[in-house]
Chain A
Amino acid sequence: MIDARNLRLLLGTGDAAVEVLRGVSLSVAAGETVALLGPSGSGKSSLMAVLSGLERATSGEIHVAGLDLGALDEDALAVARRGRIGVVLQAFHLLPTMTALENVAVPLELAGARDPWGRAEAELAAVGLSHRLTHYPAQLSGGEQQRVAVARALAPEPALLFADEPTGNLDATTGAAVADLLFARAGQAGATLFLITHDEALARRCTRVVRLADGQVASDTRS
């Protein structure tokens, strides 16, 4: 599903330039659940950004779901994500001007899917939010917003789901519920799950744990 070789990422220019990723190589098979751990500043989010096509690596090779991401421009990367890659972020990032239902329907509409509204409604029902369809993000609790984000990421049935500290902004109980949901829905959809977390307990639920330190893979263990 993911085949990355010798990825480097340089951010900033001149004296302010920082090498965030320093030769990361990683292969992930379809259906795996991978936890990415590491201290702050180790490059976890940057690696996820590069793997999900949000960021272009400075050098190295990367193939995701059979696509050579290095050869694609910003627009082509956007199109490549449609229906293939789902992303859930710590800060939810829902569109504030759209209702929960509309937020979930957007990726389906962008991908030109049939019946985006029916599928979005079903997805929200699956995360237990069928009573919140017409609510705006500002009218939802943090846990509810993150469940909408999970529904939005999974609605197009992606083969690969990235989640960047999806429970980081939530209390323990809510966080656990969202994590359960994430694993359950990813499992039902048969999606490969790539999870960034500081939470060792959450990491242990994955079939594989990759540790990053100073922009490099420090360890890669399978359970």
Chain B
Amino acid sequence: MRLALRLALRDLRRGGRGLVLLALCLFLGTAALAGIGSLSASMLAALEANGRTLLGGDLELRLSQRRVTPEETDAMRRLGRVSETVTMRSMATAASGEPVLVAVKAVDGAWPLLGRYAQESGAVARRPGPGQAAVARALADRLSLRVGDRLRVGASELRVSGIVAEEPDQLGEGFSLGPRVLVATDTLDRAGLIQPGSLYEARYRLLLRTPAEARATGDRWRRRFADAGWSATTAGNAAGGLRRGIGQLGQFLLLVGLAALAVSGVGVGSGVAGYLAGKTRSIAVLKVLGARSGLVAGIFLAQLALVALVGAGAGLALGAAVPWIVSAVAGDALPVQPRLALYPAPLLLAAALAGIAGLMFALPALARARAVPAAALLRDALAPGRRSLRVAGAVAALAAALAGLAVATATDQALAAGFVGATAVLLGALWLLGVGVRAGVARLPRSRRPLVRLAVANLHRPGAQTDRLVVALGLGFSLFAGLAAVNTSLASAMESTAPAKAPRFFAVDLQPEDAAAFGRAIRAASPGARIESTPSLRGSVVALNGRRIETMRLPPGAWVARGDRTITWSATVPPRNQVVAGRWWPADYRGAPLVSIEDHAAAVLGLKVGDRITVSVLGVDVEARIAALRRIDWSGLGLNFAIVFSPGLIQEAPHALLAGVYSGPRADGAVARAVAAAVPGVTLIRVGDVIGRLGEVLGQVAFAVRVAAGATVAAGIAVLVGAVAASGRARRADAVVLRLLGATRAQLLGAQAIEYALLAALLCVIAAAVGTAAAWYAVVQLFELPFRPDWLAVAGTLAAAAAATVAVGVVGNLPVLRVRPAAALRSE
């Protein structure tokens, strides 16, 4: 082995340039995997490390639509230090501007128990006092507010005391639609922002005397005050939604990175095959001099391993640096600042995956090199064409190891298995297509024009890499075409379908006694506007058929039974709803509580008509029999409820109204102003803003996916560059002969442009078919939305990809054009 290594190093010193493609492809594949893994690990680590600060304490106890009772306060104080915050939505209006939806947070004197609250310079108070509010920079900019200005929040007049610079527990509180307005709890109480039925959450953060027992303390608390609507969160699962989001996105991107690795693998295969083909004579010489096949394999395996180490090592280094790079370039756009450190686990995983993939794709070429006979020196004797079963078996075992490792290390193994399977099928299909294309092109009628004939011949001549290019570039192109189709379909679903049927506004916290004034204000601002209002209150499912939820293992998709939901009651079947099982109660029904459940939710929970469901409403358990299951048309974004009660007992609970406002599209400003003036306690949420915010989130996800898919395309381009380099010798020979026969450089350039345009056109057709099929599946089967891609955008994406292919191909071949026939012939 030492001899193999010695000879390998000696040969690499001058002959290693041919392995640049191997190093480049492994670099790209490893960097993609290591970068994605390191970034998500660093963000999760940041959440982990700051769990207590994000949560605001060791334990958070949370209530919906009520605040703590004196008895509960006493019990809490015995556990440790307590801080109360109350969050709700409201409308804020400055002297000049339009009403803006804001996220109000009232804090007590003890807040924050952990971390630091900071304001921008110029604040008049360290924190907002009575009648004061600190506002987010975004709100100050939007309403042109300065410290000292007056701000109307709901029905109360406040003075801006500062601009919020740092709010330590904001991330832990999850997604909010509007910018922050921070007030003191005293202000909240005095200003009357909370009305009966108002939607708000009260959080109690505790610094426990025994922090290690946070979870047990939370469990004890919920048992002690069972049925009081408490939920408990510990630092270990703070910002759970964000954590799950980052984990899932990271996982998905890792799978896209795996596709990049697969394409890189094709490049590794090409690079190694090209390199070893160039070594055939040297291998034969070594055999003439007495080298065994094992030594030959050892020499080249050592070379490949050394070059792979350099490529993958550089990829790992770049991948490990990704948290630093992303933090420096796009730090503000991230939901959480990465915790900058070296994360060995994702690096090891990337190294292992890249190592296995590299070996798998290099093995067939290595086996061919091993079998080169000494007689290859005398004539261009080819290695035996017989494919070795041992090599096929080894490749299959490595493929299984690769898939197994990818799936075993995934958090969502079913998704990973599906993705790996789909990628394997796609790669296989692309390979078959590539082989078919090559064979098909060979059977095309010969053109009468020699340059066209040459261009077509270059696609199928011996040694042509058309099949590999179809796999390598086809996957990247398909990903981009698919993404364009998915993106534009989703955008079309949001922009065209929803607004046509959707309300312009949702109004929350509308008191029943204000309903008439609310309606008058709307109709005055937008004559002909329609208002669909329905009672709303918060409740959580606590038992199914008498069995408590906390004792059950809920299946995925059982969102109805998790946490607080908005519930309603109705005498008649709500609009856009259709009873699919059971019977709706009579309009005048006032008997024992009945309930109707959305059919999907019922199916997930295994509920049927006649079953019993218990809902805790403001701490009171209400048990109801399921009378009907409904199918809901969610597409219009109207007011829809998974749980609808029969009128009766539940009407006794304090409640507010929730309204959908169907006003004219140009009356948004007038409606908002009229409502703010007539019923200031009502919060209006513009549907367009919600869609815009969702669009932003989707846009960020799509961007992340595009970056990961970009690695796939980069690997594909590397394969193309490698293919161009590999065919350089044959092309130079062609060019010399054609120049001898009188062809001009322009004609040679034209022939190359035709060749790569043909290849690009083939790739576009394949990518359009594969990409749109995958996009159709995602949009129609996964998102259950109509498939309406913007074909122009898809075509534009493919055209850009095609232009890149032609450009790389032609530019890569420019050196061929510069060859002077005489010089080339002399060197032959």
Residues on A facing B (Cβ under 8 Å): 45-46, 49, 52-55, 74-75, 77-79, 81-83, 87, 89, 93-98, 102, 106-107, 109-111, 136, 152
Contacts and interface: CB of A to CB of B under 8 A. Distances in A.
Interface string B270-292: 00000000000110111111111
Can you list the 6 inter-chain pairs with the closest CB atoms, starting with the nearest? Answer: A82-B290, A97-B15, A97-B14, A107-B289, A54-B374, A75-B292
Contact of A74 (B281, B289, B373, B377): B373
A106 B287 contact: no
B3 A110 contact: yes
Interface stretch (B4-12, B172-180, B503-511): B4-12
B293 interface: yes
Contacts of B282: 95-97
Given A96-B282, A97-B14, A102-B10, A110 B377 contact: no
B188 interface: no
B15 A75 contact: no
Contacts of A110: 3, 286, 289-291, 295
Contact of B11 (A53, A75, A98): A98
A49 B293 CA distance: 18
B216 interface: no
Interface string B369-388: 00001110110000000000
A95 B284 CA distance: 10
A200 to B, nearest CB: 23
Contacts of A54: 288, 373-375, 377-378
Contacts of A102: 10
Given A75-B293, A110-B290, A111-B290, A97 B11 contact: yes
Q: Which of A53, A75, A79 is packed against the most chain B CB atoms within 10 Å?
A: A75
Q: Which of B284, B292, B295 is packed against the most chain A CB atoms within 10 Å?
A: B292
A136 B14 CA distance: 10
Contacts of B692: none
Contact of B292 (A78, A97, A107): A78
B7 A106 contact: yes
B289 A152 contact: yes
B823 to A, nearest CB: 16
B826 interface: no
Given A78-B293, A81-B290, A93-B377, 8 more contacts: A74-B293, A74-B374, A81-B289, A96-B14, A96-B15, A97-B282, A106-B7, A107-B290
B288 to A, nearest CB: 5
A134 to B, nearest CB: 12
Q: Which of B13, B285, B377 is packed against the most chain A CB atoms within 10 Å?
A: B285
B289 A79 contact: no
28 contacts: A45-B378, A55-B373, A74-B287, A74-B374, A75-B293, A77-B374, A78-B287, A78-B290, A78-B374, A79-B290, A81-B288, A81-B290, A82-B289, A83-B290, A93-B281, A93-B284, A93-B288, A94-B285, A95-B11, A96-B15, A97-B10, A97-B15, A106-B286, A107-B290, A109-B3, A109-B7, A110-B3, A110-B291
A81 B290 CA distance: 6
B11 A49 contact: no
B97 to A, nearest CB: 75
B294 interface: yes
Contacts of B375: 49, 54-55
Contacts of A94: 285
A49 B378 contact: yes
B377 to A, nearest CB: 6
Given A97-B14, A136-B14, A109 B6 contact: yes
B255 to A, nearest CB: 40
A75 B14 contact: no
Contacts of A89: 377-378
Contacts, number: 82
A54 B372 CA distance: 11
Given A93-B281, A110-B3, A152-B289, A98 B10 contact: yes
A114 to B, nearest CB: 14
Nearest to A93: B285
B476 to A, nearest CB: 34
A98 B290 CA distance: 17
Contacts of B11: 95, 97-98
A51 to B, nearest CB: 13
Contacts of A152: 289
Contacts of A45: 378
Q: Which of B282, B285, B290, B378 is packed against the most chain A CB atoms within 10 Å?
A: B290
A89 B375 CA distance: 12
Contacts of A107: 289-290
Nearest to B3: A109
Contacts of B284: 93
Contact of A106 (B13, B281, B289): B289
A144 B287 CA distance: 23
Contacts of B12: 97
A117 B377 CA distance: 26
A82 to B, nearest CB: 4
Contacts of B288: 52, 54, 81, 87, 93
Nearest to B283: A95
B192 to A, nearest CB: 86
Contacts of B7: 106, 109
A125 B689 CA distance: 87
Contacts of A52: 288
Contacts of B294: 75
Q: Which of B6, B10, B13, B284 is packed against the most chain A CB atoms within 10 Å?
A: B10
Contacts of B377: 54, 89, 93
A52 to B, nearest CB: 8
Nearest to B12: A97
B382 to A, nearest CB: 12
Q: Which of A53, A78, A94 is packed against the most chain B CB atoms within 10 Å?
A: A78
Nearest to A149: B285
B4 to A, nearest CB: 11
Nearest to B295: A110
Interface in B1-54: 3, 6-7, 10-15
A18 B12 CA distance: 39
A81 B292 CA distance: 11
A67 B295 CA distance: 22
A95 B375 CA distance: 16
Contacts of A83: 290
A120 B295 CA distance: 21
